[in-house]
Amino acid sequence: MVSKSIATVFMMCLTLLTGCSKEEKVFNEVKHPHELLKASEVSQFLKIVHGLPDHQLPPLPLLFTQAPEWEFDRELTIAGLVREFQKSNGRHWLSASVVSRLENDQLLQKLLDEYQLSTRQFLGLAESVCMAAARTFYTDKDKLEMIIREGRIKLAQLQKQQDIFATLPEEDKYEVIHQAAWIARVDRAENLIDVPLENVELIQRHWDVISPFLPMECQQDPMSDIIDTLHVYGMPFEELPGTGLDSELTWTPSDHRVRIEHATEQQISDYDLEKSHRNTKSLAERDDKTDRDL
């Protein structure tokens, strides 16, 4: 009964997306994320994924470029490593290896034949839907433009460095890799900013029915795994050796040295009296020292 209810809701949502038209070939070319999505195309994507095991896309590479993790013995210059990594970026889901693997997926191919789509067309459509979903976290274009501007400045500095990576001190290697994460940030921002806002609005309107069929990567902030915590949050508090740890602090309410929140009049009076006694004692000791010196 529950599954029937879910199926009913699913079909109602598809009707909202496409109306009551019969199945037809929606497009002939491979879809690109920067092109407008039609409601009928999104509906077709959902119907295909709904027919797959667990109603999920088959295993695919990550949609977004990952931050580089270079081995410390790489003999290229820093600039060379940056160029090499940037050239390796591309539409990961449309690579020959991915297309070949999915062409051997019999269930998927049966569904694609039914909807008259090639494997590449389906992957292009899936990528476009997923990229639009990820863009819903950055409806403000200014944020993406800021990431791109700042990242290009950082990368320009890396591209000028001709030091051989393997010869750098270990701490410098870590710093280079830390800065090289901007390659991924810029690449992701550039891909996201090209997504038409019309696609974003379409996905947002039907988020509740679309999101269960999307990879988790597209259901969260696409920058969250490569955020520069030091840049965003600043230098974290550090407990230096020899200063002790906060966890080692102890106190009791009876400790007269402790002042908690607002002091009472009695506490203030006691404190002033204690301070007066200390001052009187200090003055007396100073006078005694002066008399002895004379």
CB 210 within 8 A of CB 42: yes
109 within domain boundaries: yes
Query: Has residue 87 got a pLDDT over 80?
Result: yes
Per-residue model confidence (pLDDT) at position 247: 57
Per-residue model confidence (pLDDT) at position 115: 94
Query: Has residue 12 got a pLDDT over 50?
Result: no
Per-residue model confidence (pLDDT) at position 208: 94
Q: Which of 37, 85, 96, 90 is nearest to 62 (CA)?
A: 90
157 within domain boundaries: yes
Query: Has residue 92 got a pLDDT over 90?
Result: no
Q: For the chain, how long is the longest CA-to-CA vector?
A: 113
Q: Which of 13-17, 50-54, 65-69, 126-130 has the lowest mean pLDDT?
A: 13-17
Query: Has residue 251 got a pLDDT over 70?
Result: no
Could you say which DSSP state residue 77 is in?
Answer: B
Nearest-5° angle of CA 146, CA 148, CA 154?
Answer: 105
Query: What's the total number of domains in the chain?
Result: 1
288 within domain boundaries: no
Query: Has residue 1 got a pLDDT over 50?
Result: no
262 within domain boundaries: no
Instruction: Locate 293 and state its tokens.
Output: 């010196």
Query: Has residue 3 got a pLDDT over 50?
Result: no
Residue 158: half-sphere exposure toward Cβ, Cα within 13 Å: 28
CB 183 within 8 A of CB 101: no
Distant-in-sequence, close-in-space partners of 49: CB < 8 Å, separation ≥ 6: 55, 56, 57, 126, 213
261 within domain boundaries: no
Say what the pTM is: 0.71
| Domain ranges, residue 114 | 2-233
Q: What is the C-alpha separation between 91 and 84, in angstroms, rounded?
A: 16
116 within domain boundaries: yes
Helix 170-193 with 78-88: angle, nearest 10 deg: 30
Reported as a pLDDT band with limits 50, 70 and 90, residue 89 is: confident
66 within domain boundaries: yes
